[in-house]
Amino acid sequence: MSGQDIPDGVDEETVTRMMRRVLEAEKDKLHMGNPIGINDDIESIIEDEIK
């Protein structure tokens, strides 16, 4: 899957929002050496935004 182009059917606003949510999720678990559950958090964000 090309990471270079914004995917069809996804708008810039959604991407910006997703990026912000992903970074917030990472920030919340930054203090953990091993951020348990972060993969699930990120997948939840993706599945919530891309339906």
| Alpha-carbon span 36 to 30, nearest angstrom | 11
| Minimum CB–partner distance for residue 35 and another protein (Å) | 7
**With contacts defined by CB under 8 A, how many residues of the chain interact with another protein?**
34
Q: Is 36 in the site for another protein (CB under 8 A)?
A: no
Q: How far apart are the first and last CA of the chain?
A: 18
* Contact footprint for another protein (CB under 8 A): 1-10, 15, 18-20, 22-24, 26-28, 30-33, 35, 38-39, 42-43, 46-47, 49-51
